[in-house]
Structure formats: structure tokens, C-alpha cells
């Protein structure tokens, strides 16, 4: 399976974007080694949540780099968008004051949203039933806690209107399923995270760049980018590798991976003393060689 002109285009892409590709590969290897060698004393839920998030971030970054290296960075925007959602929740977790509880809710959010898929997996692997039951108990306990909190608030607000109270409880649960532990949409969460960091995290700036840029691919509404001038009776497939968006995707993915990994390593207590300096050196390889200023994410590498 090959794209048209792939044999010619890929070596050219590898050469043209060598600094950004090198930075992406090096950061992946550096973080993989830290995680493999690490021993943490953090709480069980925190370790379970954050190790899973780090794994997903690494895989998403790997996918974004690989896709970009083959000239289909447009599709890699989806990976970058997913990375952003994880990183902003990592900052929210760190700022919450109770990382263990936020982790517990994050795990429950995942389990409740994907319960049907988990049940299918369980039928294929019944040996995982004990673990599934443990996870289900966790998810159910979070649902009960959120319901109890919402019910108390509703009773204080509408003491004589039980119907309004139950509607409030149901609404809060829907908010949790949609938005996760933060209970707010991503734009609002970005604003809150930036405010708590004194503006250092720049989540709003990244949100405004990453989300609109990926929405077309995400929702199948960017059809114009796939059009080639042709007669109405002829189908033309625009499949050849392009350089469109490669710099932006590679640099943004690398910066987001650094940001997320620094938060995770701080929370788990596994960050080497020189982690900030070493990851900054890697990321700066990518940023320093940018050919178009617009590709540079508005972030402060190393936060």
C-alpha cells in the first residue's frame, strides 16, 4: 500500500523537516526510558490514571509524528487535538488540590463512557471479570457521590420541588459524562487553567489554534481541501503526500507531550532533577528550525 509519489516525497519530507522529526523521536525515547525506570509512591488511583494518560500521550504523539513523516499531517491533527484534551485535564488535575480524587473521577469518566465496549471485551476475555467488577464498583461509587452532592445542592435550592431536584441531579451526571471531572467545556477549562497558572500554561491560545484547525478533519467538513480541479465526470483522488501542516503538527505534538509528561512526572514524583532542562533542549531543536513563524505554538515550553 502506497500513496502516489510516496517514494519521492517521503525522503524529501524527512530531509526538510529533520529537526522537528528528530525532536519528536528523541522526546518519545527520553520519556519512555523515564517511565520504564521509574518507581513512584503516589496513590493507587493516581498511578493507574496517570500511567494510562502517559501511555496514551506517547502513542498519540507517535502516531502524529509518523503520519506527518508520510505527508498526511492533516489527518494527524486529530491526534494533536486528543493530546490537547489530555494535557488540559492534567493541568486541571494538578491544580485541583486533590490529585487522587480527580484521578478517581477521570477513571470513572472513562469507564462510564465506554461501558458497552468494556462489556464486549469482557465477553471475549472472561478471565478479566474480577478486574472489570473492581472498575465497575469504582465507576458506580463516583456516580453515587456526584448524585449525592447534586441532590444536597438541589434540596438547598428547591426544598419543596423534588422534580426540579432530580432534574438537577440528572443534569449534573450528563455534564460529567460529557466533560469529565472538570464538569465544564474545554474553552472554559482552558480559561480556568490559565487563570490559576497566572497565564503561564497558555491553554486558551493552544485551544484556539488546535481545535478549529482540527475540526474540519474531525467532523468531515473540510471537503474543499480534498478537491482537485477536474471535469464533473472524472473522479480525482488527492492522495499524494503534502507538506501542509507538517511543521505545526510536529512542533505542537512535541510541545504538548513535554507539557503533559512534566505534569505527570511531577505528580508521580518521578521527574529527574534535569528533566526540565533536558526536555527543553529537545523541544527547542524543533522550535529553533521553524520555517514559518505561524507554526510555533504559543506555549512556554517546560511548564
- State residue 154's pLDDT score: 87
> In degrees to the nearest 10, what's the CA dihedral of 174, 175, 176, 177?
50
- Report how far apart, in Å, the C-alpha atoms of 143 and of each of 129, 132, 264 are: 21, 16, 25
DSSP letter for 224, please: G
Residue 181 DSSP label: T
Q: Which stretches of the chain drop beneath a pLDDT of 50?
A: 292-303
pLDDT computed for residue 292 by the predictor: 44
pLDDT score, position 230: 64
Sequence-separated (6 or more) residues with CB below 8 Å from residue 225: 74, 216, 244
Please give the pLDDT value at position 78. Answer: 93
- Taking each helix axis as running N to C, give the angle between helix 129-157 and helix 115-124, from 0 to 180 degrees, rounded to the nearest 10: 160
* Predicted local distance difference test score (pLDDT) of residue 212: 79
Planar angle of CA 209, 34, 102, nearest 5 degrees: 60
Is the C-alpha dihedral spanning 79, 202, 186, 96 positive or negative?
A: positive
Amino acid at each position: 500500500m502506497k500513496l502516489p509519489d510516496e517514494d519521492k516525497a517521503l525522503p524529501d519530507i524527512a530531509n526538510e523537516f529533520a529537526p522537528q522529526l528528530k525532536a519528536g523521536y528523541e522526546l518519545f525515547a527520553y520519556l519512555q526510558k523515564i517511565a520504564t525506570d521509574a518507581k513512584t509512591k503516589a496513590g493507587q488511583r493516581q498511578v493507574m490514571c496517570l500511567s494510562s494518560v502517559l501511555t496514551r500521550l506517547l502513542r498519540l504523539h507517535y502516531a502524529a509524528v509518523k503520519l506527518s513523516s508520510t505527508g498526511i499531517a492533516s489527518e494527524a491533527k486529530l491526534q494533536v487535538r486528543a493530546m490537547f484534551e489530555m494535557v488540559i485535564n492534567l493541568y486541571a488535575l494538578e491544580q485541583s488540590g486533590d490529585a487522587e480524587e480527580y484521578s478517581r473521577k477521570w477513571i470513572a469518566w472513562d469507564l462510564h463512557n465506554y461501558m458497552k465496549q468494556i462489556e464486549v471485551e469482557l465477553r471475549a476475555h472472561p478471565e478479566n471479570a474480577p478486574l472489570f467488577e473492581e472498575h465497575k464498583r469504582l465507576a458506580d461509587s463516583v456516580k453515587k457521590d456526584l448524585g449525592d452532592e447534586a441532590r444536597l445542592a438541589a434540596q438547598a435550592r428547591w426544598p419543596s420541588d423534588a422534580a426540579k431536584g432530580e432534574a438537577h441531579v440528572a443534569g449534573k451526571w450528563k455534564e460529567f459524562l460529557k466533560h469529565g471531572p472538570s464538569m465544564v467545556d474545554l474553552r472554559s477549562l482552558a480559561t480556568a487553567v490559565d487563570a490559576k497558572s497566572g497565564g503561564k500554561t497558555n491553554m486558551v491560545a493552544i485551544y484556539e489554534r488546535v481545535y478549529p484547525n482540527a475540526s474540519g478533519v474531525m467532523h468531515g467538513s473540510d471537503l474543499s481541501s480534498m478537491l482537485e480541479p477536474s471535469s464533473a465526470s472524472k473522479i480525482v483522488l488527492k492522495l499524494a503526500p503534502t507538506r501542509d501542516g507538517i511543521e505545526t503538527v510536529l512542533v505542537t505534538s512535541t510541545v504538548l507531550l513535554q507539557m503533559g509528561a512534566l505534569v505527570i512526572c511531577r505528580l508521580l514524583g518521578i521527574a529527574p532533577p534535569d528533566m526540565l532542562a533536558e526536555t527543553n533542549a529537545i523541544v527547542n531543536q524543533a522550535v529553533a528550525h521553524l520555517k514559518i513563524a505561524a507554526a510555533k505554538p504559543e506555549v512556554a515550553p517546560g511548564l
